[in-house]
Amino acid sequence: MMPIFSRARAATACTALTLVLAACGGTDSPFTVYPKPPDGMLWTLRADQQAVTLAVGETQQLTAKAFLSSGASASETPAVSYVSTNPLKVDVTATGLVTANGETSSPVPIVATIQTPRLALVDTIWVGVTTTRMPIKTFTLHNGDPAGIRFAQGDYVPIPITVVDSSDNDLSYDLSIKYTTLSPSMLAIYGTYVNAVSSGKTKMVASTTSYGKTFIDTVDVTIGYPTTAYEYCYNNGAGGCRWGVPLMAVAVGGTVYFYNFTPTPMTLVFDDPSVVPGGSVTINNGTSKPVAFPTAGTYTFKNPNGGNGTIVVLPNL
């Protein structure tokens, strides 16, 4: 059987296939094993529209493009075949003409495929069908700030998007919306939530398709240093601290809550005695102490029984 590679798993599947064929060692294998795919090899199929919403009775032509293993667009895309997983609701011809036959409770996957001599390239288009038209009037990523969206490092929050129809009805839950970021290691997306992993500036993109029209919005994103952070002291086995985050960054004016999860009181001694009155603070076990850092700088602290840490206070982005 010809191996099938999805766009997201092509590299992993290729590695697994290479290992299997290499282990077999058979000279009669119909496959050519490459240490890496040649640059001119067709490697990925990408649908021009990842999601489509139609009204009952509407039709739409689907299209897709082939890309090379180098990431470049192929000069020519071989014939793409299309198959519906639920033709009673969403029918599609072999060449990609979709007909919306009946209302769907969830989008129907349409599988697009290119068969090459070496492998099969596959992508999926999700088609939803409604009984009445709900044209999009507003499709925008925002949080009310014209300069863009701002998150604090560590935030895990819903993606702020507004999608409404001509009657200002919320459509964000009725559409298949694709979210991407230019820096996934900085700003990670989990479904309809975003996790601000590290500070910096990036962009976020949202896109959807409704009744044959594609909507795209791009917004600047700033991830600032947290204004509230939490430092945890765990028992290091010698009566001292094993810190959850030995090096922590917060914004100027931020507050760090020091938690004592050891069985005995914990004393923190700061190198800069101006941080807390007297330069030290004792925190009973099972309790916490907030410490404000109004001035930029690097502040080190230690527990006399063992366990050093550092708070870096930075002007916010």
Task: Tell me the CATH number at 206.
Answer: 2.60.40.1080
At 32 the pLDDT is 54
In a domain, 29, yes or no: yes
52: in domain: no
Choose one of 129, 151, 166: the last residue of a domain: 129
Three-class DSSP category at 298: strand
For residue 56, tell me if it sits in a domain. Answer: no
User: Is residue 191 located within the same domain as residue 278?
Assistant: no
Do 239 and 300 lie in one domain? The reply is yes
Task: Looking at the structure, tell me whether residues 113 and 8 fall in a common domain.
Answer: yes
- Within a domain: residue 50? no
Q: Which of 175, 200, 224 is the last residue of a domain?
A: 224
Residue 10 lies in a domain: yes
123, 94: one domain: yes
Query: How many domains are there within the chain?
Result: 3
Q: 15 and 79, same structural domain? A: yes
- Domain termination residue (choose one: 173, 208, 224): 224
- Which residues in the chain come in under a pLDDT of 70? 1-36, 132-134, 211-212
**One domain for residues 102 and 155:** no
Q: Is the domain of 302 the same as that of 232?
A: yes
Spatial distance between the Cα atoms of 65 and 125, rounded to a whole number of angstroms: 13
pLDDT score, position 130: 83
Name 187's Cβ contacts closer than 8 Å, sequence gap at least 6. 151, 181, 194, 195, 196, 197, 202, 204, 221, 223
Cα–Cα distance list, 251 to 186, 245, 248, 298, 300 (Å): 17, 16, 10, 12, 16
Does residue 57 lie in a domain region? no
**pTM score > 0.75 for this model?**
no
Q: Are residues 13 and 99 in the same domain?
A: yes
Task: For residues 171 and 90, state if they share a domain.
Answer: no
Whether residue 83 is contained in a domain is answered as yes
| Residue 17 within any structural domain of the chain | yes
Query: What per-residue confidence (pLDDT) applies to 23?
Result: 39
The reported pLDDT for the residue numbered 134 is 64
Range of the domain at 198: 136-224
Q: Do 220 and 232 belong to one domain?
A: no
Residue 110: predicted pLDDT:
97
Determine phi and psi for 14, rounding to 5 degrees.
-60, -45
